[in-house]
A and B are shown apart, each in its own frame.
Chain A
Amino acid sequence: MRTPTVAALSGWLRDTSVYRSIVRHGVEDTNLNRSLVVLENLFLHVHPVKVREKTLRLGHTFWLGGITLACTGILFATGILLMFYYHPSVPQAYQDMKELQFVVDNGLFLRNLHRWGAHLMVFAAFAHMLRVFYHRAYRPPRQFNWVVGVVLLLATLGLSYTGYLLPWDQLAFWGVSVGTNMVRAAPWIGEPFRFLLLGGHVVSENALLRFYVLHCVVLPVTLILLVSVHIWRVRKDGGVQGPPEDVP
C-alpha cells in the first residue's frame, strides 16, 4: 500500500465537498486565487489584497497599530479566562483576585499578562497616534480614520480605567474615587454623569458592577466594531502611510 504523503492528503482534503463548500476558489498558485483568498474571506477582506513591500518594513510604521491590535487579542483571551473566576461583588471580587494569584493554576500568569498587556496597549496606542501625526498620515483622505482612531483611544482609556476598579483593593478604590471626583468638575452634566457611572453617590458595589459591565461587555464590543472599521478604512484610504516622500 502506498503511504499517503502530506501533499496527497491535502489534495484529497481540498477535493472534499465540505472543503469546497467553504472555500470556492481553486488551489493553483495564481494571482487570481491569491487575491480570492483575501477577497472571499470576511476576516481577511478588511486588509488589502496587495501591499507594497516597503510598507511592511519596521521603519515604515514601527508596527505600532499592529502591536496595539496584538495587545487587544491577548487582552480578550486572558480577560475571558479571568472572567471564569471573578465575581463582581463585594467582598468576593478582592478574594477572587487573590485566589487567581495564589490558588488557581497559571492564574497569576494570566492576571499579570492581562495587566501588562493593558499597560502596553495604552502605550502603543499613544505611540501609534504620535507616529500617524508625525508622518502626516491623518491628512485627507485619512481624516475620518483619524477620528475613528481618537474614539478608539478613548475606548482604550475607558477599558483601562474601568479595569482598574475590578481588583477592589485600596489602590482601585481610591483611584476610582479620585477619578470620579474629577468627573464631578464637568459643568452641568458632571454630577448626574458621576451618579450614573457609579450607580450612587459613593464608590460602592453598584459602581463595581457597572464598571464590570462596561469593562467586559460595552467597551469591548465598541472596540471590536471600531477596530474593524479602522482597519477596513486603512485599505479604503489607500493602505498605510509611512513617512511622507516629500520630506527633505
Chain B
Amino acid sequence: MSSSDPMKRRDFLTLTGVGACAAAAAGAGLVTLDFLSPKVLFEPPTRFVAGTPLDFPEGTVRFNREQRAYVIGTSGGVYALTAVCTHLGCITRYLSDENVIACPCHGSRFDVEGNVVHGPAPRPLPWIEVKQDTAGNLVVDTAAVIPAGTVLRV
C-alpha cells in the first residue's frame, strides 16, 4: 500500500483496536506497579535525638542499640557512624579499651572514624547525618549517608 492510498477501513479498525488494547494493558501494568508500592510504611523511624552537644565531649563514643548507630564526640564537633557492619550486615560493638569498633560475626575491625583496620569488611562504616534542631539537640538520621569526615561543628 503506497502512502497516497487511503487506509482500508478494516486496517484502521484493527489498528485502533490493537492500539486501545495496548494502551489499556500498559495502563493496567502501571496501575499494578503503583499498587505494589506501599504508600504507608510502619518501619521504625530513621531519625532520633542523640542528646545535646554537651553530652559528647571529645573522645565520647556512644552506641545507640535501637538505631544501630554510634554518635561520637571529637575536637570541636560531633559525628555519627552506622553500627551495621559493611561485610554482611551484623551489628558491631565499640571496644573502649582498644578504641576500635569490632564485628562479632567475622572479626572485622574499624577505627572510630569508620576506617577498616582489619577485614573482611570491604568498605569503611558509612558516616551518617547529624544536625542540630532549633532547641540545639543533635538529630541523627541513619538513612542519610554523608561523605566521611563531615563533622558537625558545635
Contact = CB atoms under 8 A, between A and B. Distances in A.
B36 A201 contact: no
Interface in B87-108: 88-90
B89 A181 contact: yes
Given A174-B89, A181-B89, A204 B43 contact: yes
Contacts of A201: 41, 43, 143
A195 B41 CA distance: 11
Contacts of A206: 38, 41
Contact of B38 (A181, A199, A202): A199
Contacts of A202: 43
Contacts of A178: 88-89
Nearest to B90: A174
A160 interface: no
B2 interface: no
Nearest to A206: B38
A49 interface: no
B153 to A, nearest CB: 30
Given A201-B43, A204-B43, A196 B36 contact: yes
Contacts of B88: 174, 178
A202 B42 CA distance: 11
Nearest to A197: B36
A190 interface: no
A89 interface: no
Interface residues of B, number: 11
A38 to B, nearest CB: 37
Contacts of A195: 37
A38 B94 CA distance: 70
A240 to B, nearest CB: 37
A202 B41 CA distance: 10
A192 to B, nearest CB: 8
Interface string B18-58: 00000000000000010011100111000000000000000
A200 B38 contact: yes
B41 A200 contact: yes
A174 B91 CA distance: 11
Contacts of A241: none
B40 to A, nearest CB: 10
Contacts of B36: 196, 199
B43 A196 contact: no
B37 A196 contact: yes
Contacts of B89: 174, 177-178, 181
Which 5 pairs of residues, A with B, have the shortest CB-CB distance? A200-B41, A177-B89, A199-B38, A196-B36, A178-B88
Interface of B: 33, 36-38, 41-43, 88-90, 143
20 contacts: A174-B88, A174-B89, A177-B89, A178-B88, A178-B89, A181-B89, A195-B37, A196-B33, A196-B36, A196-B37, A199-B36, A199-B38, A200-B38, A200-B41, A200-B43, A201-B41, A201-B143, A202-B43, A204-B43, A206-B38
